[in-house]
Amino acid sequence: MARYFDIHPANPQQRAIIQVAEIVRSGGVIAYPTDSCYALGCQLGNADGIARIRSIRHLDDRHHLTLVCQDFAQLGQFVYVANSVFRAVKAATPGSYTFILPATKEVPRRLQHPRKKTVGVRIPRHVVAQALLAELGEPLVSSTLLLPGQDEPMTDGWVIAEELDHVVDAVIDSGDCGTEPTTVIDYSQPQPEIVRRGAGDTSGFE
């Protein structure tokens, strides 16, 4: 049964953030808010948690999961950012963008695209997500909370808690955070490719 945390979107209660972080560290899968949709998340080295996220969403290993990072310095530990793309990625973070970039050796193979050896990374602007990432001190492995057969991501914390009660370990409810997922930009090739148009403005990448 999932634990339910009602956390203020602008002034998150530190005690609750610590409790959620402990659930993540102990192998839990959580549903949490970002600045573009709710997401599923687990700890970087949690193979079982990653498998559970893929199972909940019915994803195969070719679908990129995302490393949600606290800041640009942390992001740089897990992906190679070429000089030619550094400025564009830096200018768009934090924000509603996911970037697909070549993975460093810090990224477990199960998280990398099996053929391209890439991984998705993003830095959210959401206060609660940032507080949780600061407490954890490492990225969350994440995927948009879009269930099989649904056209839009889930956005109400209490509905998420009811729907996913037996498949996640904790739900953070911080109010509505929208239904538009991130814009996804693939920077693993010489020319950037907009893989998905979402909440982030794409004009700077075209």
pLDDT digits (tens, 9 = 90+) for 147-165: 998 888 888 888 999 999 9
What integer pLDDT is reported at residue 18 of this predicted model? 98
pLDDT grade for 113, boundaries at 50, 70 and 90? confident
Per the model's pLDDT, the better-predicted residue between 28 and 64 turns out to be 28
How is the chain split into domains, by residue range? 3-197
Cα separation, 20 vs 26, in Å, equals 10
Mean pLDDT of 12-38: 96
Domain 3-197 has CATH 3.90.870.10: yes
Asked whether residue 131 carries a pLDDT value surpassing 80, the answer given is yes
Compute the C-alpha angle 30/32/35, nearest 5°: 155
User: 41 near 24, Cβ under 8 Å?
Assistant: yes
The tokens for 205 are 């990448």
Cα separation, 102 vs 78, in Å, equals 9
Asked whether residue 204 carries a pLDDT value surpassing 90, the answer given is no
User: How many CB atoms within 10 Å of residue 176?
Assistant: 12
What integer pLDDT is reported at residue 64 of this predicted model? 81
Whole-model pTM over 0.85: yes
pLDDT digits (tens, 9 = 90+) for 40-75: 999 999 999 999 999 999 998 778 899 999 999 999
Average pLDDT of every residue of the chain: 93
